Amino acid sequence: AQTVTQSQPEMSVQEAETVTLSCTYDTSESDYYLFWYKQPPSRQMILVIRQEAYKQQNATENRFSVNFQKAAKSFSLKISDSQLGDAAMYFCAYGRTGGGADGLTFGKGTHLIIQP
């Protein structure tokens, strides 16, 4: 079974600075997807960024980027120019390819605090 580990229960960063959230995973599959979801106090799960394992290039979405190290099974999220609206829980998730019929596997989350 796949596992996802987020070793930082809480992170704090000053507004406008950069922060990196860590995630490691374990799988025997060679092709899969990895995700970062944001969960603000409203509870809504919002997709931040997605990475296909077969792509070597790291995904980027505006201020959000990932460092995907397939051999190390590491998938960190970098948030640049942190904004107050970035404060939330962040979950790393793993999904198999081919439709992901057995769902996503989530880590326990990292609570990100933005200091004004």
Name the segment binding another protein (CB under 8 A); options: 22-30, 35-43, 66-74, 80-88.
35-43
The number of angstroms, rounded, from the C-alpha of 30 to the middle of its chain's C-alpha atoms is 19
- Kindly state whether residue 33 participates in binding another protein, applying the rule CB under 8 A: yes
Kindly state whether residue 45 participates in binding another protein, applying the rule CB under 8 A: yes
Q: What is the DSSP-derived secondary structure letter of residue 58?
A: P
Distance between CA atoms of 87 and 114, rounded to whole angstroms?
Answer: 6
38 in helix, strand or coil? strand
**Of the two residues 40 and 81, which places its CB atom closer to another protein in the complex?**
40
Q: Which of 31, 63, 103, 115 is in the footprint of another protein by CB under 8 A?
A: 103
Instruction: Show the CA angle centred on residue 53, arms to residues 74 and 111, nearest 5°.
Output: 40
The single residue among 19, 73, 95, 114 that binds another protein, judged by CB under 8 A, is: 95
CB of 50 to another protein, least distance (A): 6
What is d(CA 116, CA 113) in angstroms, rounded to the nearest whole number? 10
Residues that bind another protein (CB under 8 A): 4, 33, 35, 42-45, 47, 50, 52, 91, 93, 95-104, 106-109
